[in-house]
A and B are shown apart, each in its own frame.
Chain A
Amino acid sequence: MISWLSSSDAGALLLSLKLASINTLLLLLLTAPLAWWLARTRCRLRPVIEAVVALPLILPPTVLGFYLLLFLGPNGWGGQLMQLLGGHPLTFSFAGLVIASMIYSLPFAVQPLQNAFQSAGGRHLEVAATLRAGPVDRFFSVTLPLARRGIITGAVLVFAHTLGEFGVILMIGGNIPDVTQVASIAIYDHVEALDYSAAHSLSITLVAIAFTLLLGVYTLNRRFRLLGSNP
């Protein structure tokens, strides 16, 4: 498919992209209510929850990976729950990678969404309410359009961050080709085997993808600013 990559490297890259896409989609959908609540609440627990959400930013990935390994493994709560439901433990599986990536990238989704919801609220929502828009209507006709920059920023950050994920995946996913061997781990393998040319090919591909993504965001941001989308 991609001629300068071996078929196993292409597989690893595709797996990375699949993981990043699924992770981005799930994380945005699942964290939107949390970000909304954090943006609106006056609850005293808010700083505690914000701190927990931000933890993955500063914890070494090995710490996250270690606890996830315990939790999702055959003897952990998560693993036992899966067995009760008739499944397998999630360690060393693609589903396990998705769960790990979601926790690892949590702050990259919640924080931009929370900021976007905060600045898209207040007076504009009151205006919409006096113009006969109910709560759900207001969310879709005012909050979402005003928050779109934050949503796109969050999506790109999560996607890029998942592509670059390494430590957590190594801890709980291992290195199984086509199941858990993502691009970052394949590069590590090549370097260990002193196969620098294969490491180069895959690395430069990741650089190109990351650059294209960021270029896209900055171009979009510029266009949005010209349109005056955000106050």
Chain B
Amino acid sequence: MSIELKLQIERPEFKLSIDTVIPKRGITALFGPSGAGKTSVLRCIAGLERHPARIQVGANVWQDDKHFLPPHLRSVAYVFQEPSLLPHLSVQGNLEYGFKRVPKQQRHIQFDNAVELLGLSALLHRNTEQLSGGQRQRVAIARALLTSPQLLLMDEPLASLDDDSKASILNYIDEVQQQLNIPTLYVTHSTSEIVRLADHLIMLDAGQVIAEGEINELLTRGDLPLAHHADAGVMLKGTVAAHDDEFHLTVLNVPGGQLAVSKKNIAIGAPVRARLLARDISLTLIKPEQSSIQNILNARIDALIDDADPAQVLIKLELDDCHCLARITRRALSKLKLNVGMEVFAQVKSVAVVS
């Protein structure tokens, strides 16, 4: 099932045009500054706003020149920026609202399944006003999932939350994605959210798509602003290789070698993602044997990229089949005589692991 999206929005002093295919797997982030029209794109896909568009999901045309399917007939779920629970219904009432309206044979997500996935069983009989912001957003996500949608739309679902709730919701969104694998379009202007969540990226600016593609490719492209961000980095996909009980470590297989991290309670062989920030990676020409930094990956220099700070330079590294970034000083670049094509060792000072 593919999701084709062709859309034109024209308002006074604002134009937006998109022509893309949303991947049928994983989370696609719609990324851009505030006012780039991201929310309008989601609203148009849901049928809440009407603009000239062609939207096709699998074999179903939701909208084209002749057809316009109203929102309640589109198999889409929408998680709004603020949780927007129906105030006259309990948590359970909210969850059942969409669930009951989907015909039985189309329900592939069961009620108890969604409740468990988002940790809501203790809250079912609560009134929505007694919930914290994070709890409300969890209810909103579960309520959306319970319509068993073909496409999940999320409009900055973390924007109204405090930092602790953000971290918790991110974990829930991850879990939902792994368990249910619903194609998701996620609107955000936060770089850390896209690095954390996205598999695929559509970058919007001034009403145009300026780049789209696999997340790590775009994160490491020197001509895009992402690589120049202070928190620039990549998310490497890997698997759990082993646990080391003596030193309380978990060893991960990732492109370019292995990384040891603080022990995680994850089964051997399970997929994990490891976040590597450009500023946490240093380069050496000889494999260091006597260093406290034990995480070392084999890499090849793919490109040298000027950084905003003239004292720094970004090195795009190739690790087997993917890329990452290292931010080093120009002086180091000159002293080590680094150049494109050279084999180097990337010392990783810090890794954040997401299961």
Contacts and interface: CB of A to CB of B under 8 A. Distances in A.
Indicate whether A and B interact: yes
A146 interface: yes
B100 to A, nearest CB: 9
Q: Which are the 10 A-B pairs with shortest beta-carbon distances? A: A131-B98, A132-B101, A129-B71, A130-B78, A228-B129, A145-B88, A127-B84, A134-B72, A132-B72, A129-B72
A124 B94 CA distance: 11
A133 interface: yes
Interface in A121-141: 123-124, 126-134, 137, 141
B151 to A, nearest CB: 11
B147 interface: yes
B84 A133 contact: no
Interface in B77-114: 77-78, 80, 84, 86-88, 97-98, 101-102
A48 interface: no
B158 to A, nearest CB: 18
B108 to A, nearest CB: 15
Contacts of A137: 72, 101
Nearest to B97: A131
Contact of A227 (B84, B86, B127): B127
Nearest to A231: B87
Given A123-B84, A227-B127, A130 B48 contact: yes
Nearest to B130: A228
Contacts, number: 66
Interface in A107-166: 123-124, 126-134, 137, 141-142, 145-146
Which of A124, A127, A227 gathers the greatest number of chain B CB atoms within 10 Å? A127
Contacts of B88: 142, 145-146, 229
Contacts of B48: 126, 129-130
Given A123-B80, A227-B127, A131 B143 contact: yes
Interface string B106-147: 000000000000000000000111000000000000011001
Contacts of A141: 97
A130 B71 CA distance: 6
A175 B75 CA distance: 63
B70 interface: yes
B46 interface: yes
Given A129-B71, A137-B72, 12 more contacts: A126-B48, A128-B86, A129-B70, A130-B77, A130-B98, A130-B144, A131-B97, A132-B101, A132-B102, A145-B88, A146-B88, A230-B87
Interface in A73-108: none
Interface of A: 123-124, 126-134, 137, 141-142, 145-146, 227-231
B86 A142 contact: yes
A132 B96 CA distance: 12
A127 B71 CA distance: 10
A79 B218 CA distance: 78
B352 to A, nearest CB: 34
Given A130-B76, A133-B101, A141-B97, A146 B143 contact: no
Residue among B46, B70, B88 with the highest chain A CB neighbour number at 10 A? B88
Contacts of B80: 123, 126-127
A201 to B, nearest CB: 43
Given A130-B71, A132-B101, A141-B97, A124 B86 contact: yes
A150 B71 CA distance: 28
Contacts of A142: 86, 88
B86 A127 contact: yes
B97 A146 contact: no
A152 B80 CA distance: 31
Contacts of B77: 130-131
A133 B97 CA distance: 9
Contacts of A127: 78, 80, 84, 86
Contacts of B147: 130-132
Listed residue (A129, A137, A145, A227) with the most chain B CB atoms within 10 angstroms of its CB? A129
A132 B128 CA distance: 21
A142 B144 CA distance: 17
Contacts of A230: 87
B75 to A, nearest CB: 9
A225 to B, nearest CB: 11
Contacts of A123: 80, 84
A123 B155 CA distance: 14
A29 to B, nearest CB: 22
Contacts of A124: 84, 86-87
A124 B86 CA distance: 6
Contacts of A129: 47-48, 70-72
Nearest to A144: B88
Contacts of B97: 128, 131, 133, 141
Contact of B101 (A131, A145, A228): A131
* Most interface-central of A128, A132, A146 (chain B CB within 10 A): A132
